[in-house]
Structure 1
């Protein structure tokens, strides 16, 4: 999905005027164009399904936990249109030894994060995509993020982190499996 650059530029220009700024002054002259380009990049996940990232599936006979942790991401709070950013941790236990490329886990996070988003939905979208694409024995996704809508405005609590999780399969049903994956995420 591509955004309408001209409409975004016009909207940014109107916002600047509405806020009492002069969009024709030297420092703001190219701001509408820069903002439109930024949104094109930041919302590049619109219209994409994170599940489509799991194109490489291999039969490796591996049936133990696979975890990619500390996947950095940036997203945009859909309530305030202010960024939130942090780390995602994505784990699964393959079924019948079917694994996917490790980069595919990070790509799914990237696609889900590149749109107006809620952290809870982001976490669920990644977990559901992996679960539907591979039908693993279990999926566990944890997302830790700082929300600039809480840092810069409102409550103004910089450094506060929000943690969300989604557990499916054995990670949901087996407390020992859940403890194991949490220990792997927290202790490296």
Structure 2
């Protein structure tokens, strides 16, 4: 292992992914340089130019960085995609960090931090965005009252719905509906 490779491993440098892989004799795993697992002891590290070469020598792919999956975007991005999917399927109920945590089997604070890091917003903010986008589609149908739409998309009362709608869209639902008729 040369100095550049060690720096890449130590700094979890994503730019070296695919250029080399490192295997750990202590855990019998092979990782990408960007793997966020604990920094290894250099004496346990072996360098490979190809992940399959390491696998042939008895190392297994790391569960965290998935070096054998070329299209994999990262652990946190994968977790956030799963969280987004859960929110999109359950937006009409009371989605909480606890319910996300139970479904995804991850620490709620880790989910929150990952979401904020990857998307720049919290899961709660994303939930409101999903709800408001669903409400905008329902506002096109005049047979639904604004209160009914708010309840349909998961808000317990029309005041909270109108407040969140204005916060995200800049206007209240009634004005949004009027603009659709112009």
Q: Fold match, TM over 0.5? A: no
Which has the greater radius of gyration? 2
Of Structure 1 and Structure 2, the greater strand share is in 1
Of Structure 1 and Structure 2, the greater helix share is in 2
TM-score, structure 2 normalization: 0.30
